[in-house]
Amino acid sequence: MTFLTEGKATFYFFSSANRNLCVSGRNFVLRKEDGIIDQKIPAISVRDIVIFGESMIHASVFSLARSNEIPIHFLSKGGKYVGSIRFDYSKNIIL
């Protein structure tokens, strides 16, 4: 654990037919199908996101994850690794 990830936790999202992962301000939000907010997680407290199964994820989730350099990992419902998205900023170099 590095200084930048100290005190942060992994956010596990288990797909469900009636829940979506979206963003409200600087928070990741689990929203029920009827629009009611189920849970809010501040982006500053998230080290990485692990998503199990197929789910609806709003584009704003990727934008917030990118701005906070939070990697997103995808697993099947059974836990098999599918892939990851990492948001590493490029470094400028002098040629």
User: How confident is the model over 20-47, as pLDDT tens digits?
Assistant: 899 999 999 998 888 888 899 999 999 9
* Residue 88 phi, psi (nearest 5): -95, 130
Q: pTM for the whole thing? A: 0.81
Q: Render pLDDT for 65-84 as a digit per residue (tens, 0 to 9).
A: 999 999 999 999 999 999 99
Helix (H, G, I), strand (E, B) or coil at 14: strand
Which amino acid, residue 26?
R
